[in-house]
Amino acid sequence: AGPVESKNEAAMSELVPEPRQKPVVPMKPTGINASLLGYIGIDTIIEQMRKKTMKTGFDFNIMVVGQSGLGKSTLVNTLFKSQVSRKSSGWNREEKIPKTVEIKAIGHVIEEGGVKMKLTVIDTPGFGDQINNENCWEPIEKYINEQYEKFLKEEVNIARKKRIPDTRVHCCLYFISPTGHSLRPLDLEFMKHLSKVVNIIPVIAKADTMTLEEKTEFKQRVRKELEVNGIEFYPQKEFDEDLEDKTENDKIRQESMPFAVVGSDKEYQVNGKRVLGRKTPWGIIEVENLSHCEFALLRDFVIRTHLQDLKEVTHNIHYETYRAKRLNDNGGLPPMAVETEENHESNL
C-alpha cells in the first residue's frame, strides 16, 4: 500500500500547479512634472493664433463726435500717425456747416510690423453746431444701430459668410469743449443716450487753452457730473472681469478720465529731436510729452492696451443687447427683406 500511495501523491502534485506570485503594482507618481511627461507644445497655441489673426487682419471702427473746431480730425490723424480723417481725405474748406448731423465714414488700411488693420474713421459733421441742437444725437444712434442690424442680418442667414464684415462702432471719442466750467446739457444728453449702445471715451479737446490748475479742476468736475447723472463711460465698472482688470481700470476712471488732449500733425525740432507739437509764442507744446498733455495716455489706452477689449465689449455686451431685443421683438428672427434680383445675384 505504501508504494501505491506515494505514486498517487506524486501524480497529484504534478496536476496541481504551484501558486503564482502576484505582480508588483507600481506606485502612483507623487506629482506630474515636465520630466515625467516631456514637452507637449501647448505654448505654441498663442503663436498659432497670432499667425491666423495676422493673415485675416483686424477691423477697428472709431467714431469722433463733437462741435466743429475742437480738433477732432487732427487728433485722429495724430493717434494713427496717418492722414485718416475726413478733412485730410479731400474735404473742401469752402464746404458749409451741414444743417443736420451727417455721418461720413472713411476706410483705410494701416500696416505696421506685418500686422494689417482696416481702420474706419466715422465723422459726424454738424453735431452741436446749430442754434437748436434738440435730438441731434438721433442720426448717430440710428447709424450705430444700423451697423448692428447689418451684422445681425448676415449672422442669421442660412448660407452666411465665413467672415462677416464688421462695420460696428467699437469706440466713440466724445470731444468736450475746454470751457473750464461744466458740461453742457448737450454733452450730458448725448452721453446718456449713447452710453448704452456704444463705448464712449470722453476727451477734453484743446487742453492747451487751460492752465494746469484749471485742467485738473475741470477733469474732476466732469467726472463728478457724469457720476451724478448716472452716465457710464468706457471702461464700465460692471465689465471688469478680474481683480487685475478692476485695479487697472479703476486707476484710469479715477485719475485719467476724461483725457485732456492736444492734437497736432506738425513736426518741430526740440532739443535735437523731431516732435509732434503746436507752436505758441512761449514755446512748443509737445503732443507726446505727458507733462504737457495726456495724448500719450489716450493713445496707449485706445490702441496699445484696450483695443481688443473695446471690440469684445462691443460684440459681447452692446451687440448682444441689441440682438436679444431685436429677436425678442420679432419672435426669433428679424423680418425678411424683400430681395430684388440684383441683391440675389450679388449674394450668389
pLDDT in tens, 192-212: 989 999 999 999 998 888 888
Residue 344, number of CB atoms within 10 A of its CB? 9
> Could you report the per-residue pLDDT of 130-151, keeping only the tens digit for each?
777 788 888 999 999 999 999 9
Smallest CA-to-CA distance from 199 within 296, 63, 58 is with 63
Asked whether the predicted pLDDT for residue 337 surpasses 60, the reply is: no
Percent of all residues in the chain with a pLDDT value above 90, rounded to a whole number = 26
In this structure, what CATH number is given to the domain that contains residue 175? 3.40.50.300
Give rounded-to-5 percent helix, strand, coil for the chain: 45, 15, 40
DSSP-assigned letters across all residues of 165-200: ------EEEEEEP--SS---HHHHHHHHHHTTTS-E
pLDDT of residue 9: 52
Smallest CA-to-CA distance from 91 within 109, 78, 72 is with 72
> Could you report the per-residue pLDDT of 281-331, keeping only the tens digit for each?
888 888 887 888 888 899 999 988 899 999 999 999 999 999 999 988 876
Residue 168 included in any domain? yes
Grid coordinates representing 281 are 509764442
Residue 158 included in any domain? yes
The C-alpha atoms of residue 94 and residue 43 are separated, in whole angstroms, by 57
Residue 245 included in any domain? yes
pLDDT of residue 113: 81
Domain hosting 233: range is 56-85+99-263+293-329
> Could you report the per-residue pLDDT of 6-43, keeping only the tens digit for each?
555 555 555 555 566 665 655 555 555 555 667 888 88
Helix, strand, or coil (residue 270): strand
Residue 33 included in any domain? no
Dihedral (C-alpha) 204, 206, 211, 216: value to the nearest 10 degrees? 10
Residue 270 included in any domain? no
The domain tally of the chain equals 1
pLDDT of residue 61: 93
Give all strands (DSSP E) within 66-113, no chain letters.
104-112
| Stronger pLDDT, 190 or 135, i.e. the higher one | 190
Residue 338 included in any domain? no
Residue 269 included in any domain? no
Helix, strand, or coil (residue 190): helix
Q: Specify the DSSP element, H or E, that contains 28.
A: none
pLDDT of residue 74: 86
Helix, strand, or coil (residue 171): strand
Asked whether the predicted pLDDT for residue 82 surpasses 90, the reply is: no
Q: What is the mean pLDDT of the chain?
A: 81
> Could you report the per-residue pLDDT of 50-79, keeping only the tens digit for each?
888 777 788 999 999 988 888 888 888 888
Residue 43 included in any domain? no
The C-alpha atoms of residue 270 and residue 51 are separated, in whole angstroms, by 40
Asked whether the predicted pLDDT for residue 334 surpasses 70, the reply is: no
Q: How far is CA 250 from the centre of its chain?
A: 17
Using an 8 Å Cβ cutoff, are 153 and 327 in contact? Answer: no
